[in-house]
Amino acid sequence: MLMSRRHFLGLSALVTIQAIRSPATFAIQSDEVNRYRLVLKPEQKHWFDEAEDPIELWGFNVSELRLEQGKPVSIEVVNRLPVPTSVHWHGLRIPNNMDGVSGLTQQPIPAGGSFIYEFTPKDAGTFWAHSHHQTYEQLARGLYIPLIVEETPQQSFNQDITLTFDDWRINQQGQLDLETIGDLREWAHGGRVGNLITTNRELAPNYELYRGQPIRLRLINVANARIFQLQLPEAEVALIAKDGQPLRTPVSQSEPLILAPAERYDLVIHCDGDTSNRLSIGEIGRDEVIDIVTFDVLDADEDSSKVFIALPVNPLPAQPLGEPVVRHSITMSGGAMGSLRQATFKGEELSIDELIQQRQIWAFNGVANMPKEPIFTVNSGEVVEITLINDTRWPHSMHLHGHHFLADLNRYPEGAWHDTLVMASGEEARIRFVADAAGDWLIHCHMIEHQAGGMVSWFRVTA
């Protein structure tokens, strides 16, 4: 079933499309290193009637990238887009000069150019890769892929399905709305939210699940700013990992799951004889629940002998126990209905009106956008504690580059490690981590318009 543009406009209902594909990785294996070639290029999608003009997006030449834990990789990124870009390996603990942040860890890859990223994935789990140059535009145009690092040895799942959730702003002509990208009013509020939701870049794809078998679902929010509230399948579901890091014990999950921009969860789902033949994951909206992925539940040809056991832990730095060497507080301010009246931008103290002229409307500790000096410096191996204070009217999805941390927010599973967490308006949280690889690392809001509008800083780890 295809959708006409007429039926779509005004946020149409989603349609079911069979979309089961084997992800491509284009790896060239050798005894020492796995080599990959990723091409960033224009992409076309027929989400509506095939007779309509295709929707013009940007993307990668592969639908998913799978790496091996502990196996060195060399990834050549070829830029066939008309603009410079870069690739950030979100959640991976890798050398700082491979982190992919243009202007901080590398120069952007020019149009027609290429760059080789070389690293060894330390942690197995669910991650993703995306542009970190003019991100508010390039992410909105689709420049991302899911990135899976497989455990060694591989775990006992009969099925392993990745689900990337995104939203897109489609205009009255049935095309990606480029004119509103960079709208300062959206930057000052909740960020850019689309009017069409996709899963794995398709409209409500359908997958087959089999009864009596442990099934792994990897959920990734790749949207610019939408916080998904997900209604999970009516089956036995447990959370087994957050942001790529296994939970100490699986946590049963029957309530809706909050998935903020850049967050990931791994689930294990068991379908028994009482499970319905039709399951779904739905986005809970104001007035209704919209199915964004569906599942047909089938009987297996034979009983599965596989039993799920908690995932093996990754080799993270030691627990951040004891007295922190660095204690730091970061207060988020600004945005619509906020109290920000002035802030420092590029070394100058500017009024709110002057900040708006510079498209800066958010701040950390009274500083809008990247300061000249790091917010703190710490030696590798030392314990850091940061108190995050959301003194704004909006939620923020805070992301730390190059590190995972523990947080004292009790809505998350106990003991969960994060590289991203969402904070509600007025909320305060303490995060702790052990400083890892040397280099200059970002901390920012992953509501990408908030980052572009000033909510970003950096810290330095010395060897």
Tokens representing 47 are 């989400």
Phi-psi region of 416 (alpha: psi -120 to 50; beta: other; left: phi over 0): beta
Q: What is the DSSP letter of 33?
A: -
Residue found by looking up tokens 């998350």 in the block: 412
Domain boundaries, the chain: 5-152, 160-298, 326-462
Region 5-152: CATH code = 2.60.40.420
Local structure of 288: helix, strand or coil: coil
The architecture that CATH gives domain 326-462 is Sandwich (2.60)
Residues 6+ away with beta carbon under 8 Å from 114: 76, 77, 78, 79
Indicate if the alpha-carbon torsion angle 149, 199, 180, 54 is positive or negative. positive
The reply to whether domains 5-152 and 160-298 share a CATH topology is yes
Q: Which of 165, 178, 186, 183 is nearest to 292 (CA)?
A: 165
CATH class of the domain at 160-298: mainly beta
- Tens of pLDDT along the chain (463 residues) come to 344 443 333 333 332 222 333 344 444 444 589 999 999 999 999 999 876 899 999 999 999 999 999 999 999 999 999 999 999 999 999 999 999 999 999 999 999 999 999 999 999 999 999 999 999 999 999 999 999 999 987 777 889 999 999 999 999 999 999 999 999 999 999 999 999 999 999 999 999 999 988 999 999 999 999 999 999 999 999 999 999 999 999 999 999 999 999 999 999 999 988 999 999 999 998 889 999 999 999 998 766 556 677 899 999 998 898 899 999 999 999 999 999 999 999 999 999 999 999 999 999 999 999 999 999 999 999 999 999 999 999 999 999 999 999 999 999 999 999 999 999 999 999 999 999 999 999 999 999 999 999 999 999 999 9
Record the pTM. 0.93
Cβ atoms of 107 and 115 within 8 Å: the answer is no
Q: Which of 114, 40, 28 is nearest to 73 (CA)?
A: 28
**How many other CB atoms are there within 10 angstroms of residue 240's CB atom?**
23
Looking only at the bridges linking them, the beta strands covering 65-68 and 88-90 are unpaired
